[in-house]
Chain A
Amino acid sequence: MQHAVELEELGVQITEASRFLEMAQEQLSQRIIGQHEVIRRIFIAMLVNGHILLEGVPGLAKTLIIRTFASAMNLKFQRIQFTPDMLPADLIGTMIYNPKDMEFYPRKGPVFANVILADEINRSPAKVQSALLEAMQEHQVTIGSQTFPLQEPFMVLATQNPIEHEGTYILPEAQVDRFMMKILVDYPSYEEELEIMVQSATTASKLPVMPVVQPHDISRARALIDRIYVDPRVQRYIVDLVVATRKPGKYGMANLDAMIEYGASPRASIFLLLAAKAHAFLQQRAYITPEDVKAIAYDTLRHRIRPGYEAEADNIKPDDIIRQILQHVQVP
């Protein structure tokens, strides 16, 4: 069978260019036990310039994962704890008066880093949330009258407690939509927890994480990802999945019509394609298959589907809706 020459060459380049990820994963696996899927998703988002919303109860090593990831990737890390009394200036920076020069100077806030952990983003008021989300979208921040570009790569990993927790401000749908993926962090398995306990219950300081990635590795990977081949069948499959969240009846799922208040936006199609490309890159493939799309469909769509009243009454979650959609939309 004659393979496309370009794709064969691209495949070789991808295999070579994705080695740094294997090394980074090795570094991470020395410090993090389990949570392989979460780590894989973080790599995917990093490769295509996406941001991640992490949801899970406290104590599941979310901060540790992100801190170790940033260290292994040789990226500047900042953790910002969001609180109800926080102001936008605490995040992006402010103008400071210098009495010597009798002038105002900009003091950059913690958002000026490569990897930002926005811890408990739903504890801060809307103004602070929107300031961060604007920075995520524009990759630049304005302090006073000056605009500063953010460092590249720039990636935000926001954690949020489940919304039923008290003292939280629900993120507006328009802002949640800017996150490429929403990852549900679950408890480790029994064996994993046993290993975590044995490894962590020590007073000895941990060995530092070795940075194994150079900045050009990421930019090179991104350039290769852009060249990954996407067949029109797969493109249509992605659009079918996204449209099915809005008009499930069109795809033979009339029972979901009343279950969905609103479906995923066109941004979902874009992110689904980007994430599928990055997934294929991690698999060292120069083309996307529907498997890549299905693999990241839950994480890319779950925060973009709002279940309706009937779904809430029947305790139907977005993941249940996505599962049904994936089972009904015909794969090319």
Chain B
Amino acid sequence: MAHVSPLLGAEGEVPPRITARVIPDSALVGDRVRYFVTVHHSEKEVAALEGFDRRDSLARYSFELIGRKHTSSFPLSGAGTEEFELEFAVFGRGHQPLPPFIVVFRDLQGRVTKRVPYTSSASLFIRALTDSSMRELRPLKPPLKPSIPSFLMMSVVAGVFVVAGMVLLLLFLLKRTVRNSAERVDSGQVAQRKLRKLGSSLSAGMPPHECYEELSNIMRSFLENHYRISALEAVTQEIERDLKKIGVAGFESIMNLLKQADLVKFADCHPDVEESRQSLNKASEVIRSTRLPKAEG
């Protein structure tokens, strides 16, 4: 540590007093040191330091300024104290003189009243990074504790998760409800539209056996979407079993239609156009009747 206190006199005024010290007084290359400068002066003036901002002058002294603080106080009437704390990174090797600076005094109007150059007689011993110094055990700094208490953090995180979960659940339910209602409305409408189109094709000369095949597909798609059963991949017996389980209105009519279609598809039966048209009407009627109770409900 260096401690210097040159005294400067003036007429009828408290003479300014400057002290400087460095902590620690020895360091490894690349370490940080703190340089404390205290200036005592009269209450009618303020002090500032100059000379540290010039990189070329500091480089000559193997010092690099990396931080500074400044506090003022007036503990006694008629006197003031300015404290400067400068943080340096140090380089070089061996005894290094501390960098000089100039204390600039100003009156209360901001005019410079005097400039006092200051050179510390103390020096700093800088040690090189040798094998032995590299092996020194350096104490680890304890981990920084969060400024927010952990229980508060946990509850905040949990809260965020709960809110996110609720939002997702709400979105899922909303989507499902919208989809279900949309599909339920649509399955019947779609089937009716397809039946109308099929009727037009039949009038336009579509062979009746092809009509029955298409009719079977329409009915199966309708049953699959409307009753949520696997009808497209199921045989007629399986559909019969599933519909029985659900207790579907118009069960007999649905099964008759599917069995008729099976006869056309698999038993080489040849319906005429009139029979095909009747089956289409029957299918349309069945779909309408299955949708009515739901619409009323």
Question: Which of A231, A326, A327 is within 8 Å of B266, CB to CB?
Answer: A231
**Complex partner residue of B267 from A229, A290, A329, A330, CB under 8 angstroms:** A229
B265 located at the interface, meaning its Cβ lies under 8 Å from any Cβ of chain A in the complex: yes
Is A326 a contact partner of B233 (Cβ separation < 8 A)? yes
Whether B268 lies near A4 (C-beta < 8 A) is yes
- Residue B196 CB within 8 A of the other chain: no
CB-defined contacts of B269 to chain A, threshold 8 Å: 1-4
Are B270 and A4 neighbours in the complex by a CB distance under 8 Å? yes
A286 B267 Cβ-Cβ under 8 A: yes
The answer to whether A1 and B270 have CB atoms under 8 Å apart is yes
Known contacts A1-B260, A327-B230; A291/B268 CB under 8 A: no
Contacts of B230 in A (CB 8 A): 327
In the bound complex, how far is the Cα of B262 from the Cα of A329, in angstroms? 18
Q: Name the contact of B232 in the complex, choosing from A1, A234, A331 (C-beta under 8 A).
A: A331
Number of chain B residues whose Cβ lies closer than 8 Å to a Cβ of chain A: 21
* Any A CB within 8 A of the CB of B167: no
Residues of B within 8 A of A327 (CB): 230, 233
**Chain B 268-282, CB within 8 Å of chain A: the 1/0 string?**
111110010000000
Residues of B contacting A326 with CB < 8 Å?
233
How far apart are A73's CB and chain B's nearest CB, in angstroms? Answer: 28
**A residues 265-320 in Cβ contact with B at 8 Å:** 286-291, 294
Contact check, A287 vs B268: say whether CB atoms are below 8 A apart: yes
Contacts of B275 in A (CB 8 A): 1
* B263 CB contacts on chain A under 8 angstroms: 1, 3
**Residues of B contacting A2 in the complex (Cβ-Cβ under 8 angstroms):** 269-272
Quick check: A289 and B232 within 8 Å, CB to CB? no
CB distance from B221 to the nearest CB of A (A): 11
Answer whether residue A127 sits at the interface, using C-beta atoms and an 8 A cutoff. no
- Interface residue? A332 (CB, 8 A): yes
In whole angstroms, what is the CA distance A186 to B266 when docked?
33
- Beyond A1-B260, A1-B275, whether A331 also contacts B267 by CB under 8 A is no
For B26, list chain A residues within 8 Å (CB): none
For B232, the closest partner residue in chain A by CB is A330
- Among B225-244, those with CB < 8 Å from A are 230, 232-238
Of A233, A287, A331, which is within 8 A of B235 by CB? A331
Determine if A328 is an interface residue (Cβ-Cβ < 8 Å): yes
Shortest A47–chain B CB gap in Å is 20
Q: A233-B265, A288-B266, A332-B265 are in contact. Are A1 and B236 (CB under 8 A)?
A: no
Tell me whether A33 is interfacial, beta carbon within 8 Å: no
A276 to chain B, nearest CB (A): 11
Task: For the complex formed, measure the closest distance between the CB of A11 and the CB atoms of chain B, giving whole angstroms.
Answer: 9
A215-265 with Cβ < 8 A to chain B: 229, 231, 233-234
Any B CB within 8 A of the CB of A176: no
Contacting residue for A287 out of B238, B267, B271, CB 8 A: B267
Known: A326-B233, A327-B230, A330-B232. A289 touches B262 (CB 8 A): yes
Interface residues of A in 118-153 (CB under 8 A from B): none
Once the chains bind, are B233 and A7 in contact (CB under 8 Å)?
A: no
Once A1-B260, A1-B263, A289-B262 are accepted as A-B contacts, the answer to whether A231 and B268 lie under 8 Å apart by CB is yes
- In contact, A234 and B267 (Cβ under 8 angstroms): no
Which residues of chain A (56-83) have a CB below 8 Å from chain B? none
Output the residue of B234, B265, B268, B275 with the most chain A CB within 10 A: B268
Q: Please indicate the chain A residues that have their CB under 8 angstroms from the CB of B266 in the complex.
A: 229, 231, 233-234, 287-290, 332
B234 touches A7 (CB 8 A): no
Q: Considering the complex, give the chain B residue whose CB is closest to the CB of A3.
A: B269
Q: Which residue of A lies closest to B212 (CB)?
A: A1
Residues of the B chain whose Cβ atoms lie less than 8 Å from the Cβ of A291: 235-237
- Residues of chain B within 8 A (CB-CB) of A234 are 266
**What separation, in Å, do the CA atoms of A331 and B263 have in the docked complex?**
15
Of the A-B pairs whose beta carbons lie under 8 Å apart in the complex, a sample of 6, sorted by A's number, is: A1-B263, A1-B275, A3-B269, A288-B266, A291-B237, A331-B235
Question: Which 6 residue pairs of A and B lie closest in terms of their CB atoms, listed nearest first?
Answer: A4-B268, A287-B267, A291-B235, A2-B270, A290-B235, A1-B271
